[in-house]
Amino acid sequence: MKIFMHSTDKGIWKTIENGPFIPQVKRDEVLIYKPSSEWTEAESKKVKFVWIAKKIITSALSCDEFFRVSQCSSAKEMCNILEVTHEGTNDVKRARKHAFIQEYELFRMQKGETICDVQKRFSHIVNHLMSLGKSFDKKELNIKILKCLDRTWQPKVTFISESKDLTSMIVASLFGKLREHELEMNRLVVQESEDKYNKEIALKACNHK
Protein backbone atom coordinates (compact mmCIF):
# COMPACT_ATOMS: atom_id res chain seq x y z
CA MET A 1 0.00 0.00 0.00
CA LYS A 2 2.81 2.38 0.90
CA ILE A 3 4.66 1.62 -2.33
CA PHE A 4 1.52 2.14 -4.40
CA MET A 5 0.73 5.49 -2.77
CA HIS A 6 4.32 6.71 -3.12
CA SER A 7 4.35 5.74 -6.78
CA THR A 8 1.24 7.87 -7.31
CA ASP A 9 2.35 10.86 -5.21
CA LYS A 10 4.35 10.82 -1.97
CA GLY A 11 1.99 13.46 -0.59
CA ILE A 12 -0.75 10.81 -0.46
CA TRP A 13 1.25 8.72 2.00
CA LYS A 14 1.92 11.82 4.11
CA THR A 15 -1.82 12.07 4.77
CA ILE A 16 -1.58 8.56 6.27
CA GLU A 17 1.40 9.47 8.45
CA ASN A 18 0.39 12.99 9.47
CA GLY A 19 -3.37 13.03 9.09
CA PRO A 20 -5.47 15.15 6.71
CA PHE A 21 -4.17 18.52 5.58
CA ILE A 22 -6.46 21.41 6.54
CA PRO A 23 -5.53 24.84 5.15
CA GLN A 24 -5.27 27.46 7.86
CA VAL A 25 -4.74 31.20 7.94
CA LYS A 26 -3.89 33.65 10.73
CA ARG A 27 -6.38 36.48 11.23
CA ASP A 28 -6.22 38.89 14.12
CA GLU A 29 -3.36 36.79 15.54
CA VAL A 30 -5.66 33.75 15.62
CA LEU A 31 -5.15 30.66 13.46
CA ILE A 32 -8.42 29.64 11.80
CA TYR A 33 -9.51 27.20 9.10
CA LYS A 34 -9.19 28.80 5.69
CA PRO A 35 -12.41 28.97 3.63
CA SER A 36 -12.26 26.64 0.63
CA SER A 37 -12.85 29.60 -1.67
CA GLU A 38 -9.43 30.95 -0.60
CA TRP A 39 -7.45 27.75 -1.01
CA THR A 40 -4.46 27.94 -3.31
CA GLU A 41 -3.96 25.33 -6.00
CA ALA A 42 -1.27 23.63 -3.89
CA GLU A 43 -3.57 23.54 -0.84
CA SER A 44 -6.44 22.10 -2.87
CA LYS A 45 -4.14 19.36 -4.09
CA LYS A 46 -3.09 18.47 -0.53
CA VAL A 47 -6.69 18.35 0.63
CA LYS A 48 -7.56 16.08 -2.30
CA PHE A 49 -4.85 13.65 -1.18
CA VAL A 50 -7.13 12.62 1.70
CA TRP A 51 -9.82 11.44 -0.68
CA ILE A 52 -7.33 9.75 -2.99
CA ALA A 53 -5.84 7.87 -0.03
CA LYS A 54 -9.31 6.80 1.16
CA LYS A 55 -10.18 5.65 -2.36
CA ILE A 56 -6.99 3.57 -2.62
CA ILE A 57 -7.60 1.94 0.78
CA THR A 58 -11.28 1.17 0.28
CA SER A 59 -10.75 -0.21 -3.23
CA ALA A 60 -8.36 -2.79 -1.78
CA LEU A 61 -10.74 -4.02 0.93
CA SER A 62 -13.32 -6.79 1.02
CA CYS A 63 -16.88 -5.93 2.11
CA ASP A 64 -16.25 -7.01 5.71
CA GLU A 65 -13.06 -4.97 5.90
CA PHE A 66 -14.75 -1.97 4.31
CA PHE A 67 -17.43 -1.89 6.99
CA ARG A 68 -14.71 -1.66 9.65
CA VAL A 69 -13.54 1.67 8.28
CA SER A 70 -16.53 3.05 6.35
CA GLN A 71 -17.33 5.64 9.05
CA CYS A 72 -13.75 6.92 9.38
CA SER A 73 -13.26 10.58 8.59
CA SER A 74 -9.64 10.27 7.43
CA ALA A 75 -7.32 7.82 5.72
CA LYS A 76 -5.04 7.91 8.76
CA GLU A 77 -7.90 6.72 10.97
CA MET A 78 -8.69 3.95 8.47
CA CYS A 79 -5.10 2.69 8.54
CA ASN A 80 -4.96 2.84 12.33
CA ILE A 81 -8.08 0.67 12.64
CA LEU A 82 -6.85 -1.84 10.05
CA GLU A 83 -3.44 -1.98 11.71
CA VAL A 84 -4.85 -2.71 15.15
CA THR A 85 -7.31 -5.23 13.68
CA HIS A 86 -4.71 -7.24 11.79
CA GLU A 87 -1.46 -6.57 13.64
CA GLY A 88 -2.77 -5.99 17.15
CA THR A 89 -2.01 -3.34 19.75
CA ASN A 90 1.53 -2.33 20.68
CA ASP A 91 1.53 -4.99 23.41
CA VAL A 92 0.52 -7.65 20.89
CA LYS A 93 3.19 -6.47 18.45
CA ARG A 94 5.79 -6.59 21.20
CA ALA A 95 4.81 -10.16 22.08
CA ARG A 96 4.91 -11.21 18.41
CA LYS A 97 8.32 -9.57 18.01
CA HIS A 98 9.72 -11.49 20.97
CA ALA A 99 8.30 -14.74 19.60
CA PHE A 100 9.89 -14.16 16.17
CA ILE A 101 13.21 -13.15 17.77
CA GLN A 102 13.27 -16.44 19.64
CA GLU A 103 12.41 -18.29 16.45
CA TYR A 104 15.23 -16.44 14.67
CA GLU A 105 17.77 -17.25 17.38
CA LEU A 106 16.85 -20.96 17.34
CA PHE A 107 16.70 -21.19 13.54
CA ARG A 108 18.37 -24.32 12.15
CA MET A 109 18.26 -26.29 8.93
CA GLN A 110 15.86 -29.20 9.43
CA LYS A 111 16.45 -32.77 8.34
CA GLY A 112 15.48 -33.31 4.70
CA GLU A 113 15.20 -29.58 3.92
CA THR A 114 16.48 -28.12 0.68
CA ILE A 115 18.13 -24.70 0.49
CA CYS A 116 14.90 -23.35 -1.03
CA ASP A 117 13.01 -24.60 2.03
CA VAL A 118 15.54 -22.95 4.34
CA GLN A 119 15.34 -19.67 2.40
CA LYS A 120 11.55 -19.65 2.55
CA ARG A 121 11.42 -20.19 6.33
CA PHE A 122 14.27 -17.78 7.02
CA SER A 123 12.78 -14.99 4.86
CA HIS A 124 9.41 -15.44 6.56
CA ILE A 125 10.93 -14.84 10.01
CA VAL A 126 13.18 -11.96 8.97
CA ASN A 127 10.45 -10.16 7.01
CA HIS A 128 8.09 -10.34 9.99
CA LEU A 129 10.77 -8.99 12.32
CA MET A 130 11.59 -6.13 9.96
CA SER A 131 7.89 -5.24 9.70
CA LEU A 132 7.85 -5.09 13.52
CA GLY A 133 10.76 -2.66 13.63
CA LYS A 134 13.85 -4.85 14.00
CA SER A 135 16.78 -4.12 11.69
CA PHE A 136 19.56 -6.38 10.42
CA ASP A 137 22.80 -5.76 8.56
CA LYS A 138 23.95 -8.00 5.72
CA LYS A 139 26.82 -9.59 7.63
CA GLU A 140 24.59 -10.59 10.55
CA LEU A 141 22.07 -12.30 8.25
CA ASN A 142 24.74 -14.04 6.17
CA ILE A 143 26.53 -15.41 9.24
CA LYS A 144 23.22 -16.60 10.68
CA ILE A 145 22.40 -18.47 7.45
CA LEU A 146 25.80 -20.17 7.30
CA LYS A 147 25.63 -21.19 10.97
CA CYS A 148 22.18 -22.71 10.61
CA LEU A 149 23.30 -25.28 8.02
CA ASP A 150 24.00 -28.86 9.08
CA ARG A 151 27.48 -30.44 9.15
CA THR A 152 27.29 -31.75 5.56
CA TRP A 153 27.56 -28.11 4.46
CA GLN A 154 30.67 -27.34 6.55
CA PRO A 155 33.22 -27.41 3.67
CA LYS A 156 31.09 -25.00 1.61
CA VAL A 157 30.45 -22.80 4.65
CA THR A 158 34.18 -22.57 5.33
CA PHE A 159 34.92 -21.76 1.68
CA ILE A 160 32.31 -18.96 1.54
CA SER A 161 33.38 -17.52 4.90
CA GLU A 162 37.03 -17.34 3.81
CA SER A 163 36.54 -16.21 0.20
CA LYS A 164 33.54 -13.88 0.28
CA ASP A 165 32.89 -10.49 1.86
CA LEU A 166 29.89 -11.21 4.06
CA THR A 167 29.44 -7.51 4.87
CA SER A 168 28.50 -6.60 1.30
CA MET A 169 26.92 -9.82 -0.03
CA ILE A 170 23.13 -9.67 -0.20
CA VAL A 171 21.20 -12.57 1.30
CA ALA A 172 19.71 -13.58 -2.06
CA SER A 173 23.21 -13.99 -3.51
CA LEU A 174 24.30 -16.18 -0.62
CA PHE A 175 21.29 -18.44 -1.03
CA GLY A 176 22.00 -18.52 -4.76
CA LYS A 177 25.54 -19.81 -4.15
CA LEU A 178 24.24 -22.40 -1.71
CA ARG A 179 21.63 -23.47 -4.23
CA GLU A 180 24.28 -23.87 -6.94
CA HIS A 181 26.32 -26.07 -4.61
CA GLU A 182 23.25 -28.12 -3.71
CA LEU A 183 22.45 -28.76 -7.39
CA GLU A 184 26.04 -29.84 -8.05
CA MET A 185 26.02 -32.19 -5.06
CA ASN A 186 22.71 -33.69 -6.23
CA ARG A 187 24.20 -34.18 -9.70
CA LEU A 188 27.19 -36.01 -8.25
CA VAL A 189 24.94 -38.24 -6.15
CA VAL A 190 22.94 -39.20 -9.25
CA GLN A 191 26.12 -39.78 -11.25
CA GLU A 192 27.63 -41.97 -8.50
CA SER A 193 24.41 -43.94 -8.30
CA GLU A 194 24.40 -44.50 -12.06
CA ASP A 195 28.09 -45.51 -12.05
CA LYS A 196 27.46 -47.99 -9.25
CA TYR A 197 24.48 -49.45 -11.12
CA ASN A 198 26.48 -49.78 -14.34
CA LYS A 199 29.31 -51.52 -12.50
CA GLU A 200 26.88 -53.98 -10.94
CA ILE A 201 25.38 -54.76 -14.36
CA ALA A 202 28.84 -55.26 -15.85
CA LEU A 203 29.88 -57.51 -12.97
CA LYS A 204 26.76 -59.65 -13.35
CA ALA A 205 27.41 -59.97 -17.08
CA CYS A 206 30.99 -61.15 -16.45
CA ASN A 207 29.87 -63.68 -13.86
CA HIS A 208 27.21 -64.96 -16.24
CA LYS A 209 29.83 -65.61 -18.89
Please count the other Cβ atoms lying within 10 Å of the Cβ belonging to residue 92: 11
d(CA 168, CA 170): 6
Q: Which of 190, 161, 196, 195 is nearest to 177 (CA)?
A: 161
- Among 65, 74, 63, CA closest to 12: 74
**Amino acid 187: pLDDT:** 87
Q: What is the pLDDT of residue 145?
A: 96
pLDDT in tens, 9-19: 989 999 999 98
Task: Give the chain's count of helices (H) and strands (E).
Answer: 10, 2
pLDDT of residue 165: 87
Task: Spell out, as residue ranges, where the chain has pLDDT lower than 50.
Answer: none
Residue 164: its pLDDT value, please? Answer: 84
Give the chain's end-to-end CA distance (angstroms, integer): 75
Q: Which pLDDT score is estimated for 137?
A: 92
Cβ neighbours of 18 (radius 10 Å): 9
pLDDT at 100: 94
Task: Say how far apart CA 175 and CA 171 lie, in whole Å.
Answer: 6
**Closest-CA residue to 109 (of 150, 142, 155, 151):** 150
Given a contact cutoff of 8 angstroms between Cβ atoms, the answer to whether 139 and 161 are in contact is no
C-alpha to C-alpha distance for 100 and 102, rounded to whole angstroms:
5
pLDDT at 209 (0 to 100): 58
In the chain, % of residues over pLDDT 70: 93
pLDDT 10s digits, 73-94: 889 999 999 988 888 788 888 8
Q: Is the pTM of this model over 0.95?
A: no
